[in-house]
Amino acid sequence: MNKRFEFNALPFDGPFDKQLLSLVVPLFNERPMLPIFFDRVLTVLATLDLRWEIVLVDDGSDDGSAQYIRSVIDRTPGVRLIKLSRNFGKEAAMTAGLEHARGDAVIVLDADLQDPPEQIPAMVECWQSGVDVVLMQRRSRAGETVFKRWSAHLFYRLLNRTSRTNIPVDTGDFRLMSRKAVSALLVLTERNRYMKGLFAWIGMPTQVIQYDREPRVAGETKWDYPGLVGLALEGLTSFSISPLRWATVIGLIAASMGAVFGLWIVVKAIMLGDATSGYPSLVALISFLGGIQLMSVGIVGEYVGKTYMESKQRPIYLTEDVVESRDGLRQQAKQKMTETRHVKAV
Ligand code: UDP
Ligand code: MG
């Protein structure tokens, strides 16, 4: 744990003719991962002919992750900790990291090493050849259940059918973005942040690299199925209003079916003198229509809710602390008083 990292690479304060690469790492309760994380990432960074910085965003961990990172900062220049005031979720944590990153290029990387840092040199090479976005596409997803793979596959396809923004299949948040791409992304100030969609929305020259997604090295995933369903709904409703249209179309279909059925009953009664035994069909109709109505109200509600959340214009995240080391000196900058006061008032 107290291993010293001594490398010849050029961190933040290296010669300024070199370009600066930022790694943005959102993390939430990843304490068991951190020693291995630093070991592997710093080894890779040491091989690059670039200045670098690692921006770790602690998304409200309560397992001592922040303390460990502080101890790394004490002995490793170029590492920075952005500590959020509570758990805001990965999307907000990534936004915080992107806002604080100063690099000419920024790579977003998970702390659990599922996005292998050994891919960084290839990503940097692509970027240096002139593209603005280097997208990492999963060739395989080791350590994930068949159901998770299958549901992810289905979700991406549904998403792309419904929205005009083409969100590439089987890509996560693991990617490199040029300064130009990051600036474009930061212009999007919406509160409901479905990052994969926002990443895709900005466009820009993109190159795809395939990689094998590794299983988590330690700790456990923060996503459970309700969480993933929530994220999926967020994705669908953030990038298209076609679910609203579906509600209208389904409503129209149900109404037409009802009308035809009604006509059929009348015709049957007149022509055949056949009095309809109404009760079972009535129950079926009422529950069918009731279901459609509730679903439609729910869909409309999703959008109304989103509009409500957006209208409050709250910040996407709040920082509690920014800790960084330059030349081995630890600098600790308390956030602006107003923000701190706001946190206390909540
Ligand atoms: N994470 C975060 N805030 C959260 C949940 C997750 O910053 O509220 C981080 C987590 O620490 C990890 C990354 O986001 O670095 C991906 O999370 P996880 O591995 O749990 O997701 P999965 O890889 O299973 O999709
Ligand atoms: Mg993971």
Residue nearest (by alpha carbon) to ligand 1 atom 9: 27
How far is it, in rounded angstroms, from Cα 123 to Cα 105?
Answer: 10
| 185 CA to centre of own chain | 13
Ligand 1, atom 11, residue with closest C-alpha: 27
Which atom from ligand 1 is nearest to the alpha carbon of 221? 20
Residue nearest (by alpha carbon) to ligand 1 atom 10:
27
- Among 213, 211, 209, 192, which residue's Cα sits nearest to residue 201? 192
Q: How many CA atoms lie within 13 A of 17 on its CB side?
A: 0
pLDDT computed for residue 142 by the predictor: 64
Atom of ligand 1 nearest to the CA of 216: 19
Give the pLDDT of residue 337: 38
Separation between Cα atoms, residue 207 and residue 213, nearest integer Å:
18
Q: What is the dihedral of CA 324, 177, 197, 316, to 10 degrees?
A: 20
Residue with CA at minimum distance from ligand 1 atom 21: 221
Domain boundaries, the chain: 3-240+315-345, 242-312
Q: What pLDDT, on the 0 to 100 scale, is given for residue 15?
A: 64
Maximum separation of any 2 CA atoms in the chain, in Å? 96
How many Cα atoms occupy the beta-carbon half-sphere of 277 within 13 Å? Answer: 1
Ligand 1: atom nearest CA of 89 is 8
pLDDT in tens, 295-340: 888 888 888 888 888 888 888 888 888 888 755 444 444 433 334 4
Q: Would you state the pLDDT for residue 13? A: 62
Q: Identify the CA nearest to 26 among candidates 149, 173, 131.
A: 173
Helices (H), the chain: 34-45, 65-75, 90-100, 120-128, 146-162, 179-187, 195-201, 225-238, 242-272, 278-311, 337-345
Predicted confidence at residue 120, as pLDDT, reads 94
CA 178/CA 333 separation, integer angstroms: 27
| CA of 263 relative to ligand 1 center, distance in Å | 56
Residue ranges around ligand 1 (CB below 6 Å): 26-28, 30, 59, 87, 89-90, 93, 110-112, 114, 221-223
Q: Which amino acid is at 275?
A: A
Question: What does the pLDDT read at residue 41?
Answer: 93
How would you class 129 by CB atoms within 10 Å of its CB: exposed for 0-12, middle for 13-18, buried for 19 or more? Answer: exposed
Taking the centre of ligand 1 as the mean of its atom positions, its distance from the CA of residue 222, in whole angstroms, is 5
Most confident listed range (257-266, 270-279, 320-329) = 257-266
At 186-213, the pLDDT tens digits run 888 877 777 777 788 888 888 888 888 7
Residue among 104, 102, 89, 90 at smallest CA distance from 176: 104
Q: What is the CATH number of domain 3-240+315-345?
A: 3.90.550.10
**DSSP letters for 35-53:** HHHHHHHHHHHTTSSSEEE
Give the pLDDT confidence of 65-92 residue by residue, as tens digits.
999 999 888 888 889 999 999 999 888 9
22 falls in which pLDDT band (50, 70, 90)? Answer: very high
Separation of CA 26 and ligand 1 centre (Å) = 7
* Confidence at 7, pLDDT banded by 50, 70, 90: very low
**What value does the mean pLDDT of the chain take?**
80
